[in-house]
Structure 1
Amino acid sequence: MRIVRDELGVVVVTYKRPEALRKTIFEILNQGIAEAHIVVINNDPSVQLLSEEIDPTFTSLIIKNQPENIASAGGFAIGMQAIQDLGLQWAWLFNDDSRPIDRSFESLKSALEKVSNQKIGLVKIGNFNNRGKATLLNWKGVRVPSYVEPSDKLIETDLVTFDGCLISTRLIQEIGTCDPDYFVGTYEFDYCLRARDAGYSIFTLPNGLIEDEKAGSIGGTPPWRQYYNTRNHLYLGLQRKDLQTILAWIKRELKFSYAIIRFEDQKLLRLRLKTLATFHAILGKRGKTLDPASIK
């Protein structure tokens, strides 16, 4: 399996982090992939980004300004479709606060050349934990991490997250993009499960050649994100009629509800939103049912 540079497109989803975005674009171009198209999905409706403002020297930069915040699921869905529409073979995905570092692309290219599997759907550069080991994700009704020593050898896994992930447009053509109605959270795991249902393989390259600032995680989990985590996980289990996922959701919600009561601020708001999320999942209510900007 080979990656050809001029058959690669890059997607970056951004929201109110212009400096982080410029840094990410700079690091992408440092990978020596000047032939690639870069598609930026701007989820901040208050600012109309222009390609010349981000990098006036790069002619294959496409900006898609959105009229409202469609979050990461909506942004990646648009970006994945754009790469397929351009007739390219691979989409390389990033958030604005995650970016490749030196040798990222070459390591992916080299690793894929050693694999004969012709039905590869997703390949993710594995992040390092605080002990310098790479994270692998597998599915037991909920994501279950394990940790391995760094290497440049691909490891087959059940799940990946999208930051630093290559996705085959052959897969996109067959099963579609990620589901924008998840809005935020769970959409990556839904997509991985759908890919495996269609017979595609998922790999992690555990070399840590990605920088992830995790800017969206600073300050803990806000109440609105807990709402979407609760709703989307239960919806996934109900939609797939998967008892393992539903039981894992119950166990997870009991644990997190206990943590809210014991340790979190805004206890009543968080518990109320979790209850609302449960009802919405059962009723099949999806999309942007709760505006993050309305929850303080």
Structure 2
Amino acid sequence: MAATVATVLVTYNRLHLLAVCLAALFDQTRPPDRIILVDNASTDGTAEWLRAGGYINDPRIDYLRLAENLGGAGGFHAGVCHGLNGGYDWLWLMDDDACPDPSALAQLLACQPRPPHLYSSVAIALDDPQRRLCWPAMAVSGGSRLKYSGELTEPLLEVAALTFLGLFAHRHAVEQIGLPDAEMFLAGDDIDYCERARRMGARLFLVTGSVLNHPLPGRRTIALLGRQFDNLLLPPWKRYYDVRNRIVIARRHYGRRLWTETIPGLLIRLIDCLYHDPDRWHQMHAYLQGFWDGFGGRLGARRRPP
């Protein structure tokens, strides 16, 4: 029997992007068998728009409206759980700002994926003539840091980490790894998931023919002592989760690298924020609270969008 695929799509207050993403999913040459649409309690008219357009009763969509905003991590936790209970063979995860190429899902299936390994589409910067990768990929073979789609010369590229922007996982792998950690709320839940997968013997692969178009995240690149550090341009409430969850992930998975890599990297990014950001004191407070809660193991939704 042919494998069944459910797309887990998480949205929050980005109706204009959600409409584009849904249209792209409906336009797949091999459409997903079901779209599990997780609405993180949007307040921008998302539910009303879906109802008016007939999407809520569309047999291609399972609409899950959460009672409160549980963040991206909570949304993926709920969606993946629903997909497992629905019995689908494969789950394809993405946010509402992804716009998959028409053949994106077909390309994932054509690479003959098999559990327990994890696979992913490639997120390429939207309308970018340089075709930069939204998240640079660290190749396992050779350790090179790839930043442009032209550098992806193999159909399957084994990498050090994947994001929930196009992650493709078989139900058997998810049953072994478990669900995404909802308590992380935002940022890093995908990295934590990849590290948990490694412990179960999984390898991580980019499927270079499967493309998602996605806005390029704002970042500054810091060159220091022969290394490069990316500092994402984040408002203070998001910065808190980025800092806290980096520490939580390092404490869970990296051993002494917490002290030799994670903490020095965060201090370099803090100095960069204090030098460049106009809201530097709010950024400083976010860093301090992130450090405090990261080492104290205080997870969950501790800061909300303004």
1:252 aligns with 2:265: yes
Question: d(CA) in 1 for partners of 2:218 and 2:2?
Answer: 32
Matched residue, 2:121? 125
Cα separation, 1, equivalents of 2:300 and 2:259: 20
Do residues 36 (structure 1) and 8 (structure 2) align? no
What is the rounded CA distance, in whole Å, between the counterparts of 1:183 and 1:259 in structure 2? Answer: 25
Aligned match of 1:107: 107
Residues in 2 aligned to 1:248 and 1:55: alpha-carbon distance in whole angstroms: 50
Equivalent residue pairs, number: 283
SS of the aligned residue for 2:124 comes to: coil
Q: TM-score, structure 1 length as denominator? A: 0.85
Query: How many percent identity over aligned positions?
Result: 20
- The Cα shift of 1:45 comes to 4.6
Residues 154, 55 of structure 1: CA spacing in aligned structure 2 closer, same or farther, 3 A cutoff?
Answer: farther
- Report how far residue 265 of structure 1 moved: 1.3
Map residues 164-179 of structure 1 onto 2, 5 A cutoff. Answer: 164-179=166-181
Instruction: Give the equivalent residue in structure 1 for 2:81.
Output: 81
- Given that 1:48 and 1:65 are in contact with CA atoms closer than 8 Å, whether structure 2 keeps it comes out as no
The gaps in structure 1 that reach 5 residues or longer are none
Tell me the CA shift for residue 252 of structure 1: 1.4
* Per-residue CA distance 1:231-285 (angstroms, 9 max, x = gap): 1111111223611144222121221111122111111111112111111111110
Residue-by-residue CA offset, 1:165-195 (whole Å, 9 max, x unaligned): 2111111111211111111111111100100
| Equivalent residue runs for 1:8-157 within 5 Å | 8-34=5-31, 36-46=33-43, 47=45, 49=47, 52-56=51-55, 58-112=58-112, 118-128=114-124, 131-132=130-131, 137-138=137-138, 145-147=145-147, 149-151=151-153, 153-157=155-159
Secondary structure at the residue paired with 1:161? coil
Counterparts of 1:235 and 1:144, CA distance in 2: 26
Per-residue Cα deviation, 1:74-122 (whole angstroms, up to 9, x for no partner) = 111111111111011111111111021121122112222xx6xx43432
Counterpart of 2:227 in structure 1 is none
Q: Equivalents in 2 of 1:45, 1:25: separation in Å?
A: 16
Q: What CA distance in whole angstroms lies between the structure 2 residues aligned with 1:270 and 1:150?
A: 35
Q: Which runs of 5+ in 2 are unaligned?
A: 220-231
Instruction: Say which is worse superposed, 241-250 or 74-83, in terms of deviation.
Output: 241-250
TM-score, with length taken from structure 2: 0.83
Q: Secondary structure at the match of 1:193?
A: helix
The answer to whether residue 189 in structure 2 is matched with residue 187 in structure 1 is: yes
Distance in 1 (CA, whole Å) between partners of 2:212 and 2:287 is 33
CA–CA distance in 1 between the matches of 2:194 and 2:100? Answer: 22
Residue of structure 1 equivalent to 2:250: 237
- The alignment partner of 1:230 has SS state of helix
Aligned partner of 2:2 in structure 1 is 4
